Chains A and B, each alone.
Chain A
Protein backbone atom coordinates (compact mmCIF):
# COMPACT_ATOMS: atom_id res chain seq x y z
CA UNK A 1 0.00 0.00 0.00
CA UNK A 2 1.42 3.41 -0.90
CA UNK A 3 0.80 6.62 0.98
CA UNK A 4 -1.75 8.91 -0.65
CA UNK A 5 -0.33 12.12 -2.11
CA UNK A 6 -3.76 13.79 -2.26
CA UNK A 7 -4.11 17.10 -0.52
CA UNK A 8 -7.13 18.74 1.05
CA UNK A 9 -7.94 22.43 1.40
CA UNK A 10 -10.15 23.47 4.31
CA UNK A 11 -11.42 26.73 5.77
CA UNK A 12 -10.47 28.02 9.21
CA UNK A 13 -13.60 27.92 11.43
CA UNK A 14 -12.65 30.55 14.01
CA UNK A 15 -13.68 34.20 14.22
CA UNK A 16 -10.97 36.79 13.78
CA UNK A 17 -9.47 37.95 17.08
CA UNK A 18 -10.85 41.18 18.54
CA UNK A 19 -9.06 44.47 18.10
CA UNK A 20 -6.16 45.02 20.46
CA UNK A 21 -7.03 48.63 21.20
CA UNK A 22 -8.64 49.41 24.52
CA UNK A 23 -10.86 52.20 25.79
CA UNK A 24 -9.20 54.84 28.00
CA UNK A 25 -9.14 54.51 31.77
CA UNK A 26 -9.36 57.36 34.26
CA UNK A 27 -7.77 58.41 37.56
CA UNK A 28 -9.00 60.87 40.18
CA UNK A 29 -5.65 62.59 40.71
CA UNK A 30 -7.12 64.31 43.75
CA UNK A 31 -8.12 63.43 47.32
CA UNK A 32 -11.18 61.26 47.84
CA UNK A 33 -12.80 63.81 50.19
CA UNK A 34 -15.83 65.51 48.73
CA UNK A 35 -16.49 62.85 46.09
CA UNK A 36 -19.34 60.42 45.55
CA UNK A 37 -17.85 56.93 45.50
CA UNK A 38 -19.90 54.12 43.96
CA UNK A 39 -19.91 50.67 45.54
CA UNK A 40 -21.74 47.98 43.56
CA UNK A 41 -22.80 44.55 44.84
CA UNK A 42 -25.36 42.04 43.65
CA UNK A 43 -26.62 40.85 47.02
CA UNK A 44 -25.20 37.35 46.65
CA UNK A 45 -21.80 37.37 48.27
CA UNK A 46 -22.03 38.07 51.98
CA UNK A 47 -18.26 38.55 52.19
CA UNK A 48 -18.37 41.40 49.67
CA UNK A 49 -21.45 42.96 51.24
CA UNK A 50 -19.56 43.09 54.53
CA UNK A 51 -16.51 44.65 52.86
CA UNK A 52 -18.76 47.21 51.18
CA UNK A 53 -20.28 48.02 54.58
CA UNK A 54 -16.83 48.51 56.05
CA UNK A 55 -15.67 50.69 53.18
CA UNK A 56 -18.75 52.88 53.50
CA UNK A 57 -17.58 53.74 57.00
CA UNK A 58 -14.00 54.36 55.86
CA UNK A 59 -15.17 56.58 53.01
CA UNK A 60 -17.38 58.66 55.27
CA UNK A 61 -14.49 59.03 57.71
CA UNK A 62 -12.36 60.26 54.80
CA UNK A 63 -14.92 62.86 53.77
CA UNK A 64 -16.42 61.02 50.79
CA UNK A 65 -20.01 59.97 50.17
CA UNK A 66 -20.54 56.28 49.44
CA UNK A 67 -23.26 55.45 46.92
CA UNK A 68 -24.22 51.78 47.12
CA UNK A 69 -26.11 50.03 44.36
CA UNK A 70 -27.47 46.51 44.68
CA UNK A 71 -28.05 44.97 41.29
CA UNK A 72 -30.59 42.26 40.56
CA UNK A 73 -31.21 39.70 37.85
CA UNK A 74 -30.21 40.50 34.28
CA UNK A 75 -33.19 39.24 32.29
CA UNK A 76 -36.96 39.70 32.14
CA UNK A 77 -38.63 42.54 34.09
CA UNK A 78 -36.00 42.43 36.82
CA UNK A 79 -33.33 42.77 34.12
CA UNK A 80 -34.83 46.03 32.89
CA UNK A 81 -34.84 47.37 36.43
CA UNK A 82 -31.20 46.34 36.90
CA UNK A 83 -30.09 47.99 33.66
CA UNK A 84 -31.81 51.24 34.64
CA UNK A 85 -30.34 51.07 38.13
CA UNK A 86 -26.77 50.57 36.90
CA UNK A 87 -27.09 53.36 34.34
CA UNK A 88 -28.37 55.75 37.00
CA UNK A 89 -25.64 54.72 39.44
CA UNK A 90 -22.89 55.16 36.84
CA UNK A 91 -24.05 58.68 36.13
CA UNK A 92 -24.51 59.66 39.76
CA UNK A 93 -21.01 58.91 41.10
CA UNK A 94 -17.53 60.37 40.57
CA UNK A 95 -15.79 56.99 40.66
CA UNK A 96 -16.51 53.50 41.89
CA UNK A 97 -15.92 49.82 42.30
CA UNK A 98 -18.05 46.94 41.02
CA UNK A 99 -18.04 43.51 42.57
CA UNK A 100 -17.82 40.84 43.38
CA UNK A 101 -16.34 38.59 40.75
CA UNK A 102 -16.04 35.27 42.46
CA UNK A 103 -17.94 33.09 40.01
CA UNK A 104 -18.06 33.06 36.23
CA UNK A 105 -21.20 35.02 35.48
CA UNK A 106 -20.89 37.34 38.49
CA UNK A 107 -17.36 38.24 37.35
CA UNK A 108 -18.67 38.90 33.84
CA UNK A 109 -21.44 41.17 35.10
CA UNK A 110 -19.17 42.90 37.63
CA UNK A 111 -16.82 43.73 34.76
CA UNK A 112 -19.78 44.78 32.62
CA UNK A 113 -21.00 47.24 35.25
CA UNK A 114 -17.49 48.60 35.91
CA UNK A 115 -17.24 49.19 32.17
CA UNK A 116 -20.55 51.08 32.33
CA UNK A 117 -18.89 53.38 34.82
CA UNK A 118 -15.71 53.72 32.78
CA UNK A 119 -17.81 54.61 29.73
CA UNK A 120 -19.00 57.63 31.73
CA UNK A 121 -15.31 58.65 31.92
CA UNK A 122 -15.18 57.86 35.63
CA UNK A 123 -12.34 56.04 37.41
CA UNK A 124 -13.66 52.47 37.65
CA UNK A 125 -12.49 49.26 39.28
CA UNK A 126 -13.77 45.73 39.25
CA UNK A 127 -13.29 43.70 42.44
CA UNK A 128 -12.62 40.01 41.99
CA UNK A 129 -11.13 37.15 43.94
CA UNK A 130 -7.79 35.74 42.88
CA UNK A 131 -9.27 32.69 41.17
CA UNK A 132 -11.29 34.91 38.83
CA UNK A 133 -8.71 37.63 38.11
CA UNK A 134 -7.70 36.25 34.74
CA UNK A 135 -11.34 35.83 33.78
CA UNK A 136 -11.97 39.48 34.69
CA UNK A 137 -9.08 40.61 32.48
CA UNK A 138 -10.38 38.44 29.64
CA UNK A 139 -13.91 39.80 29.94
CA UNK A 140 -12.69 43.42 30.14
CA UNK A 141 -10.65 42.79 27.00
CA UNK A 142 -13.65 41.27 25.21
CA UNK A 143 -15.71 44.35 26.12
CA UNK A 144 -13.03 46.63 24.68
CA UNK A 145 -11.75 47.87 28.06
CA UNK A 146 -8.60 45.81 28.38
CA UNK A 147 -6.99 48.25 30.82
CA UNK A 148 -9.88 48.24 33.28
CA UNK A 149 -8.41 48.29 36.77
CA UNK A 150 -8.83 45.12 38.79
CA UNK A 151 -8.68 44.84 42.57
CA UNK A 152 -7.77 41.26 43.44
CA UNK A 153 -9.01 39.94 46.79
CA UNK A 154 -8.06 36.62 48.43
CA UNK A 155 -9.77 33.41 47.32
CA UNK A 156 -11.98 31.92 48.54
CA UNK A 157 -13.56 34.82 50.33
CA UNK A 158 -16.83 33.15 51.25
CA UNK A 159 -17.25 31.26 54.51
CA UNK A 160 -14.46 33.19 56.27
CA UNK A 161 -15.17 34.43 59.80
CA UNK A 162 -16.59 37.94 59.97
CA UNK A 163 -13.57 39.24 61.88
CA UNK A 164 -11.24 38.00 59.15
CA UNK A 165 -13.36 39.68 56.47
CA UNK A 166 -13.26 42.97 58.36
CA UNK A 167 -9.47 42.66 58.46
CA UNK A 168 -9.41 42.08 54.70
CA UNK A 169 -11.64 45.14 54.20
CA UNK A 170 -9.20 47.19 56.26
CA UNK A 171 -6.11 45.86 54.48
CA UNK A 172 -7.43 46.38 50.96
CA UNK A 173 -8.99 49.81 51.43
CA UNK A 174 -5.73 51.70 50.67
CA UNK A 175 -5.30 49.67 47.47
CA UNK A 176 -8.85 50.52 46.48
CA UNK A 177 -8.12 54.24 46.84
CA UNK A 178 -4.79 53.89 45.07
CA UNK A 179 -6.41 52.23 42.04
CA UNK A 180 -8.91 55.06 41.87
CA UNK A 181 -5.99 57.50 41.80
CA UNK A 182 -6.84 59.24 45.07
CA UNK A 183 -3.79 61.35 45.88
CA UNK A 184 -3.72 61.86 49.63
CA UNK A 185 -2.68 59.03 51.93
CA UNK A 186 -6.15 58.00 53.04
CA UNK A 187 -5.45 54.60 54.56
CA UNK A 188 -8.04 53.32 56.99
CA UNK A 189 -7.29 53.63 60.69
CA UNK A 190 -8.63 51.52 63.45
Chain B
Protein backbone atom coordinates (compact mmCIF):
# COMPACT_ATOMS: atom_id res chain seq x y z
CA UNK B 1 0.00 0.00 0.00
CA UNK B 2 1.23 3.53 -0.75
CA UNK B 3 0.05 7.06 0.03
CA UNK B 4 0.11 9.13 -3.17
CA UNK B 5 0.91 12.85 -3.09
CA UNK B 6 -0.73 14.26 -6.20
CA UNK B 7 -4.37 13.23 -5.82
CA UNK B 8 -7.13 15.06 -3.90
CA UNK B 9 -8.11 11.64 -2.59
CA UNK B 10 -6.71 10.57 0.75
CA UNK B 11 -7.44 6.85 1.06
CA UNK B 12 -4.61 4.38 0.77
CA UNK B 13 -3.98 2.81 -2.63
CA UNK B 14 -3.25 -0.72 -3.75
CA UNK B 15 -1.58 -1.68 -7.03
CA UNK B 16 -2.60 -4.93 -8.69
CA UNK B 17 -2.74 -6.62 -12.05
CA UNK B 18 -5.30 -5.05 -14.37
CA UNK B 19 -7.32 -8.23 -14.40
CA UNK B 20 -10.98 -8.55 -13.28
CA UNK B 21 -10.26 -11.90 -11.65
CA UNK B 22 -7.40 -10.40 -9.62
CA UNK B 23 -9.63 -7.57 -8.40
CA UNK B 24 -12.43 -9.98 -7.53
CA UNK B 25 -10.03 -12.20 -5.58
CA UNK B 26 -8.56 -9.20 -3.77
CA UNK B 27 -12.03 -7.91 -2.76
CA UNK B 28 -12.84 -11.29 -1.23
CA UNK B 29 -9.47 -11.63 0.45
CA UNK B 30 -9.68 -8.14 1.96
CA UNK B 31 -13.32 -8.59 3.01
CA UNK B 32 -14.53 -5.57 0.99
CA UNK B 33 -16.84 -7.50 -1.20
CA UNK B 34 -20.30 -8.98 -0.99
CA UNK B 35 -19.35 -12.09 -2.91
CA UNK B 36 -20.12 -10.56 -6.30
CA UNK B 37 -17.44 -9.06 -8.58
CA UNK B 38 -16.77 -5.34 -8.17
CA UNK B 39 -15.60 -2.62 -10.52
CA UNK B 40 -12.16 -1.16 -9.70
CA UNK B 41 -12.37 1.96 -7.51
CA UNK B 42 -9.80 3.89 -9.53
CA UNK B 43 -9.16 7.59 -9.04
CA UNK B 44 -10.83 8.32 -12.37
CA UNK B 45 -14.03 6.54 -11.38
CA UNK B 46 -14.07 8.06 -7.89
CA UNK B 47 -13.37 11.58 -9.13
CA UNK B 48 -16.17 11.31 -11.71
CA UNK B 49 -18.56 10.56 -8.86
CA UNK B 50 -17.17 13.37 -6.74
CA UNK B 51 -17.80 15.77 -9.62
CA UNK B 52 -21.53 15.03 -9.33
CA UNK B 53 -21.83 16.42 -5.80
CA UNK B 54 -21.18 19.92 -4.43
CA UNK B 55 -19.59 18.40 -1.36
CA UNK B 56 -15.79 18.16 -0.99
CA UNK B 57 -14.26 14.66 -0.60
CA UNK B 58 -13.72 15.10 3.13
CA UNK B 59 -17.30 16.17 3.83
CA UNK B 60 -18.81 13.83 6.43
CA UNK B 61 -22.09 12.32 5.31
CA UNK B 62 -22.66 10.48 8.55
CA UNK B 63 -21.30 8.02 11.06
CA UNK B 64 -22.22 4.43 10.34
CA UNK B 65 -22.59 1.82 13.07
CA UNK B 66 -21.71 -0.70 14.33
CA UNK B 67 -18.06 0.34 14.07
CA UNK B 68 -19.03 4.01 13.98
CA UNK B 69 -17.05 4.48 10.79
CA UNK B 70 -16.97 8.01 9.45
CA UNK B 71 -18.59 8.05 6.03
CA UNK B 72 -16.87 10.77 4.04
CA UNK B 73 -17.96 11.64 0.53
CA UNK B 74 -14.70 10.11 -0.72
CA UNK B 75 -15.34 6.78 0.99
CA UNK B 76 -18.93 6.77 -0.24
CA UNK B 77 -17.66 7.44 -3.77
CA UNK B 78 -15.09 4.66 -3.51
CA UNK B 79 -17.77 2.15 -2.58
CA UNK B 80 -20.17 3.57 -5.16
CA UNK B 81 -17.45 3.14 -7.79
CA UNK B 82 -17.11 -0.51 -6.79
CA UNK B 83 -20.88 -0.97 -7.14
CA UNK B 84 -20.97 0.69 -10.57
CA UNK B 85 -22.98 3.77 -9.62
CA UNK B 86 -23.08 6.35 -12.41
CA UNK B 87 -22.25 9.94 -11.39
CA UNK B 88 -25.81 11.26 -11.81
CA UNK B 89 -27.03 8.70 -9.27
CA UNK B 90 -24.33 9.40 -6.68
CA UNK B 91 -26.28 12.15 -4.85
CA UNK B 92 -28.93 9.53 -4.06
CA UNK B 93 -26.28 7.30 -2.47
CA UNK B 94 -25.21 10.21 -0.27
CA UNK B 95 -28.84 11.01 0.57
CA UNK B 96 -29.46 7.41 1.61
CA UNK B 97 -26.36 7.36 3.83
CA UNK B 98 -27.39 10.63 5.45
CA UNK B 99 -30.85 9.20 6.11
CA UNK B 100 -29.44 6.00 7.59
CA UNK B 101 -27.17 8.04 9.88
CA UNK B 102 -30.12 9.88 11.42
CA UNK B 103 -30.41 8.73 15.06
CA UNK B 104 -34.15 8.06 14.77
CA UNK B 105 -33.44 5.52 12.04
CA UNK B 106 -31.69 3.53 14.79
CA UNK B 107 -28.98 2.05 12.59
CA UNK B 108 -27.20 1.22 15.86
CA UNK B 109 -29.76 -1.54 16.40
CA UNK B 110 -30.43 -2.35 12.75
CA UNK B 111 -26.83 -3.19 12.00
CA UNK B 112 -26.33 -5.49 14.97
CA UNK B 113 -29.65 -7.21 15.54
CA UNK B 114 -30.42 -10.89 15.16
CA UNK B 115 -33.29 -9.77 12.89
CA UNK B 116 -33.10 -9.92 9.11
CA UNK B 117 -33.82 -6.16 8.88
CA UNK B 118 -31.96 -3.96 6.42
CA UNK B 119 -32.47 -0.43 5.06
CA UNK B 120 -34.61 -0.56 1.93
CA UNK B 121 -34.50 2.52 -0.31
CA UNK B 122 -37.53 4.07 -2.00
CA UNK B 123 -36.86 6.70 -4.67
CA UNK B 124 -39.21 9.46 -5.77
CA UNK B 125 -38.58 12.28 -8.19
CA UNK B 126 -37.99 13.33 -11.77
CA UNK B 127 -34.71 11.43 -12.30
CA UNK B 128 -36.27 8.03 -11.62
CA UNK B 129 -36.42 6.92 -15.27
CA UNK B 130 -33.15 8.48 -16.37
CA UNK B 131 -31.28 6.77 -13.53
CA UNK B 132 -32.81 3.37 -14.12
CA UNK B 133 -34.76 3.06 -10.90
CA UNK B 134 -37.00 -0.02 -10.96
CA UNK B 135 -40.63 0.75 -10.21
CA UNK B 136 -42.57 -1.46 -12.63
CA UNK B 137 -42.57 -5.24 -13.05
CA UNK B 138 -40.00 -6.91 -10.81
CA UNK B 139 -39.13 -3.72 -8.97
CA UNK B 140 -38.32 -5.62 -5.75
CA UNK B 141 -36.12 -8.11 -7.57
CA UNK B 142 -35.63 -9.20 -11.12
CA UNK B 143 -35.74 -5.90 -12.95
CA UNK B 144 -32.31 -4.75 -14.08
CA UNK B 145 -32.28 -0.96 -13.81
CA UNK B 146 -28.76 0.26 -13.24
CA UNK B 147 -29.83 2.89 -10.74
CA UNK B 148 -31.72 0.52 -8.48
CA UNK B 149 -29.13 -2.22 -8.56
CA UNK B 150 -26.08 -0.02 -8.08
CA UNK B 151 -27.44 2.53 -5.60
CA UNK B 152 -28.76 -0.21 -3.34
CA UNK B 153 -25.51 -2.13 -3.57
CA UNK B 154 -23.38 0.96 -2.96
CA UNK B 155 -25.26 1.69 0.27
CA UNK B 156 -24.87 -1.92 1.31
CA UNK B 157 -21.12 -1.83 0.59
CA UNK B 158 -20.80 1.37 2.64
CA UNK B 159 -22.52 -0.31 5.60
CA UNK B 160 -20.06 -3.18 5.22
CA UNK B 161 -16.85 -1.28 4.55
CA UNK B 162 -17.42 1.96 6.45
CA UNK B 163 -19.84 0.86 9.17
CA UNK B 164 -18.25 -2.55 9.55
CA UNK B 165 -21.54 -4.46 9.35
CA UNK B 166 -20.74 -8.07 8.55
CA UNK B 167 -23.09 -10.97 9.12
CA UNK B 168 -21.71 -13.42 11.66
CA UNK B 169 -19.19 -10.86 12.89
CA UNK B 170 -20.51 -7.46 13.96
CA UNK B 171 -24.03 -8.16 12.76
CA UNK B 172 -25.79 -10.93 14.66
CA UNK B 173 -28.44 -11.43 12.00
CA UNK B 174 -29.64 -15.03 12.11
CA UNK B 175 -30.88 -15.31 8.54
CA UNK B 176 -30.28 -11.97 6.84
CA UNK B 177 -32.34 -11.46 3.70
CA UNK B 178 -31.75 -11.02 -0.05
CA UNK B 179 -32.17 -7.25 0.35
CA UNK B 180 -28.86 -7.13 2.21
CA UNK B 181 -27.22 -7.08 -1.19
CA UNK B 182 -29.02 -3.76 -1.57
CA UNK B 183 -32.67 -3.03 -2.37
CA UNK B 184 -33.68 0.19 -4.04
CA UNK B 185 -36.91 0.77 -5.94
CA UNK B 186 -39.08 3.66 -7.07
CA UNK B 187 -42.69 4.62 -6.83
CA UNK B 188 -44.87 4.55 -9.97
CA UNK B 189 -46.04 8.05 -9.22
CA UNK B 190 -48.02 8.42 -12.46
CA UNK B 191 -50.19 5.44 -11.56
CA UNK B 192 -50.77 6.45 -7.97
CA UNK B 193 -54.16 8.00 -7.10
CA UNK B 194 -52.49 9.77 -4.21
CA UNK B 195 -49.56 12.16 -3.74
CA UNK B 196 -46.17 10.45 -3.90
CA UNK B 197 -44.43 9.21 -0.77
CA UNK B 198 -41.89 12.05 -0.94
CA UNK B 199 -44.58 14.72 -1.36
CA UNK B 200 -46.48 13.26 1.58
CA UNK B 201 -43.26 13.58 3.57
CA UNK B 202 -42.91 17.28 2.77
CA UNK B 203 -40.76 17.36 -0.36
CA UNK B 204 -41.54 18.96 -3.72
CA UNK B 205 -42.43 16.73 -6.65
CA UNK B 206 -39.45 18.27 -8.49
CA UNK B 207 -36.95 16.86 -5.99
CA UNK B 208 -35.19 13.52 -6.17
CA UNK B 209 -35.71 11.98 -2.76
CA UNK B 210 -34.58 8.76 -1.09
CA UNK B 211 -36.64 7.34 1.75
CA UNK B 212 -35.00 4.65 3.89
CA UNK B 213 -37.16 2.08 5.63
CA UNK B 214 -35.89 -0.52 8.09
CA UNK B 215 -37.65 -3.56 6.68
CA UNK B 216 -37.47 -7.13 7.87
CA UNK B 217 -38.34 -8.51 4.48
CA UNK B 218 -40.69 -8.66 1.54
CA UNK B 219 -43.91 -10.29 2.73
CA UNK B 220 -46.07 -11.29 -0.25
CA UNK B 221 -49.85 -10.96 -0.33
CA UNK B 222 -52.18 -12.23 -3.06
CA UNK B 223 -55.91 -12.14 -3.76
CA UNK B 224 -58.46 -13.04 -6.42
CA UNK B 225 -61.52 -13.35 -4.18
CA UNK B 226 -62.39 -9.77 -3.27
CA UNK B 227 -64.20 -7.57 -5.79
CA UNK B 228 -64.86 -4.78 -3.32
CA UNK B 229 -61.96 -2.42 -2.62
CA UNK B 230 -63.00 -2.30 1.02
CA UNK B 231 -63.02 -6.09 1.29
CA UNK B 232 -59.61 -6.25 -0.34
CA UNK B 233 -58.20 -3.60 1.99
CA UNK B 234 -59.74 -5.44 4.96
CA UNK B 235 -58.04 -8.69 3.97
CA UNK B 236 -54.72 -6.90 3.52
CA UNK B 237 -55.10 -5.33 6.97
CA UNK B 238 -55.73 -8.73 8.54
CA UNK B 239 -52.78 -10.24 6.67
CA UNK B 240 -50.25 -7.66 7.79
CA UNK B 241 -51.37 -8.12 11.42
CA UNK B 242 -49.88 -11.61 11.54
CA UNK B 243 -49.22 -12.88 15.08
CA UNK B 244 -45.43 -13.07 14.83
CA UNK B 245 -45.14 -9.52 13.51
CA UNK B 246 -42.41 -7.58 15.34
CA UNK B 247 -45.02 -5.13 16.56
CA UNK B 248 -46.48 -7.85 18.77
CA UNK B 249 -43.05 -8.29 20.39
CA UNK B 250 -42.54 -4.62 21.15
CA UNK B 251 -43.64 -2.86 24.34
CA UNK B 252 -45.98 -0.69 22.25
CA UNK B 253 -47.20 -0.40 18.67
CA UNK B 254 -46.09 3.20 18.49
CA UNK B 255 -42.73 3.04 16.69
CA UNK B 256 -41.84 2.36 13.08
CA UNK B 257 -43.70 1.93 9.83
CA UNK B 258 -44.77 -0.80 7.42
CA UNK B 259 -44.56 -0.06 3.70
CA UNK B 260 -47.36 -1.59 1.65
CA UNK B 261 -46.37 -1.95 -2.00
CA UNK B 262 -49.63 -1.75 -3.97
CA UNK B 263 -49.77 -2.71 -7.63
CA UNK B 264 -51.17 -0.02 -9.99
CA UNK B 265 -54.38 -1.94 -10.75
CA UNK B 266 -55.26 -2.32 -7.09
CA UNK B 267 -54.14 1.27 -6.49
CA UNK B 268 -56.77 2.51 -8.96
CA UNK B 269 -59.45 0.48 -7.16
CA UNK B 270 -58.34 1.80 -3.80
CA UNK B 271 -58.21 5.34 -5.19
CA UNK B 272 -61.90 5.19 -6.11
CA UNK B 273 -62.94 3.87 -2.72
CA UNK B 274 -60.49 6.01 -0.76
CA UNK B 275 -59.83 9.24 -2.71
CA UNK B 276 -57.63 10.52 0.10
CA UNK B 277 -54.71 8.35 1.15
CA UNK B 278 -55.41 9.21 4.77
CA UNK B 279 -58.79 7.49 4.55
CA UNK B 280 -57.11 4.38 3.08
CA UNK B 281 -54.55 4.37 5.88
CA UNK B 282 -57.32 4.87 8.46
CA UNK B 283 -59.24 1.90 7.04
CA UNK B 284 -56.15 -0.32 7.12
CA UNK B 285 -55.38 0.82 10.66
CA UNK B 286 -58.91 0.14 11.94
CA UNK B 287 -58.78 -3.42 10.63
CA UNK B 288 -55.14 -4.29 11.34
CA UNK B 289 -55.71 -6.21 14.56
CA UNK B 290 -56.28 -9.71 15.81
CA UNK B 291 -58.46 -11.03 18.64
CA UNK B 292 -56.49 -11.89 21.76
CA UNK B 293 -57.90 -15.43 21.56
CA UNK B 294 -55.60 -16.01 18.60
CA UNK B 295 -52.64 -16.37 20.96
CA UNK B 296 -52.08 -19.25 23.38
CA UNK B 297 -52.61 -18.33 27.07
CA UNK B 298 -48.96 -17.70 28.05
CA UNK B 299 -48.38 -15.45 25.03
CA UNK B 300 -51.75 -13.74 25.56
CA UNK B 301 -50.75 -12.92 29.13
CA UNK B 302 -47.62 -11.14 27.92
CA UNK B 303 -49.67 -9.04 25.50
CA UNK B 304 -52.13 -8.22 28.27
CA UNK B 305 -49.30 -7.33 30.66
CA UNK B 306 -47.93 -4.95 28.04
CA UNK B 307 -51.29 -3.25 27.78
CA UNK B 308 -51.68 -4.30 24.16
CA UNK B 309 -55.23 -5.63 24.50
CA UNK B 310 -58.07 -3.11 24.29
CA UNK B 311 -61.51 -3.26 25.90
CA UNK B 312 -62.92 -5.18 22.91
CA UNK B 313 -60.22 -7.82 23.19
CA UNK B 314 -58.42 -6.54 20.09
CA UNK B 315 -54.63 -6.45 19.76
CA UNK B 316 -54.04 -3.55 17.42
CA UNK B 317 -51.00 -3.81 15.18
CA UNK B 318 -49.99 -0.14 15.40
CA UNK B 319 -51.04 2.99 17.25
CA UNK B 320 -51.56 5.38 14.33
CA UNK B 321 -52.83 5.11 10.72
CA UNK B 322 -49.78 6.90 9.29
CA UNK B 323 -47.56 4.01 10.38
CA UNK B 324 -49.01 2.03 7.46
CA UNK B 325 -47.44 3.54 4.35
CA UNK B 326 -48.79 2.67 0.88
CA UNK B 327 -46.42 3.00 -2.09
CA UNK B 328 -47.63 2.31 -5.64
CA UNK B 329 -45.25 0.18 -7.70
CA UNK B 330 -44.98 -3.17 -9.46
CA UNK B 331 -46.24 -4.63 -12.70
CA UNK B 332 -49.66 -4.44 -14.31
CA UNK B 333 -50.54 -8.05 -13.65
CA UNK B 334 -52.46 -7.04 -10.51
CA UNK B 335 -53.28 -9.81 -7.94
CA UNK B 336 -50.36 -9.06 -5.61
CA UNK B 337 -49.14 -6.69 -2.96
CA UNK B 338 -45.99 -6.85 -0.85
CA UNK B 339 -45.61 -5.69 2.73
CA UNK B 340 -42.14 -4.46 3.67
CA UNK B 341 -42.56 -5.50 7.27
CA UNK B 342 -41.26 -3.32 10.03
CA UNK B 343 -38.36 -3.69 12.44
CA UNK B 344 -40.53 -1.29 14.49
CA UNK B 345 -37.79 0.46 16.44
CA UNK B 346 -36.73 2.47 13.40
CA UNK B 347 -38.36 5.59 11.99
CA UNK B 348 -38.46 6.01 8.23
CA UNK B 349 -36.23 8.86 7.02
CA UNK B 350 -36.25 10.85 3.76
CA UNK B 351 -33.45 13.00 2.33
CA UNK B 352 -33.28 14.82 -1.00
CA UNK B 353 -30.35 14.17 -3.29
CA UNK B 354 -28.17 17.21 -3.74
CA UNK B 355 -26.62 17.21 -7.18
CA UNK B 356 -24.61 19.83 -9.00
Q: Which residues of A contact B (CB under 8 A)?
A: 4, 6-18, 43-44, 72-79, 103-105, 107-109, 112, 132, 135, 138-139, 142-143
B170–A15 contact, CB under 8 A? no
Which residue of chain A has its CB nearest to the CB of B249?
A: A44
Interface centre among A73, A77, A105 (most CB of B within 10 A): A105
Given contacts A73-B344, A103-B172, A104-B172, contact A78 B254 (CB under 8 A): yes
B13–A9 contact, CB under 8 A? yes
B162–A72 contact, CB under 8 A? no
> Is B23 part of the binding interface, using a Cβ–Cβ cutoff of 8 Å?
yes
B115–A13 contact, CB under 8 A? no
| Closest 3 pairs between A and B when the two form their complex, measured CB to CB | A15-B69, A104-B172, A105-B109
Which residue of chain A has its CB nearest to the CB of B173?
A: A104
- Using an 8 Å CB-CB cutoff, how does the interface string of B167-195 with A read, 1 for contact, 0 for none? 00011110000000000000000000000
A77–B254 contact, CB under 8 A? yes
B106–A8 contact, CB under 8 A? no
B14–A9 contact, CB under 8 A? yes
Inter-chain CA distance A103–B343, complex, in Å, is 14
Minimum C-beta distance from B64 to chain A (A) = 8
Interface centre among A10, A16, A108 (most CB of B within 10 A): A10
Inter-chain CA distance A82–B281, complex, in Å, is 28
Minimum C-beta distance from A65 to chain B (A) = 26
Q: Which residues of B contact A (CB under 8 A)?
A: 1, 9, 11-19, 23, 30, 32, 40-43, 46, 64-71, 75, 78-79, 82, 104-106, 108-110, 112-115, 157, 161-164, 170-173, 249-252, 254-256, 306, 344-347
Main secondary structure of the interface of B (DSSP, over half): loop
Minimum C-beta distance from A188 to chain B (A) = 28
Minimum C-beta distance from B115 to chain A (A) = 7
In the complex, which residues of chain B have a beta carbon less than 8 angstroms from the beta carbon of A7?
15-18
Inter-chain CA distance A18–B99, complex, in Å, is 23
Inter-chain CA distance A117–B16, complex, in Å, is 48
Which residue of chain B has its CB nearest to the CB of A71?
A: B251
In the complex, which residues of chain B have a beta carbon less than 8 angstroms from the beta carbon of A112?
108
Choice from B43, B112, B256 contacting A135 with Cβ under 8 Å: B112
* 21 chain-A/chain-B pairs, Cβ below 8 angstroms: A4-B18, A9-B14, A9-B15, A10-B42, A11-B9, A11-B41, A11-B78, A12-B11, A12-B14, A13-B82, A13-B161, A15-B164, A18-B68, A73-B254, A73-B344, A79-B345, A104-B172, A105-B112, A105-B345, A139-B112, A142-B65
Inter-chain CA distance A14–B163, complex, in Å, is 9
B79–A13 contact, CB under 8 A? yes
Choice from B64, B69, B106, B112 contacting A107 with Cβ under 8 Å: B112
In the complex, which residues of chain A have a beta carbon less than 8 angstroms from the beta carbon of B306?
43
Inter-chain CA distance A112–B173, complex, in Å, is 19
A6–B113 contact, CB under 8 A? no
In the complex, which residues of chain A have a beta carbon less than 8 angstroms from the beta carbon of B32?
13-14
Choice from B40, B71, B172, B250 contacting A10 with Cβ under 8 Å: B40
Minimum C-beta distance from A53 to chain B (A) = 15
Inter-chain CA distance A78–B254, complex, in Å, is 8
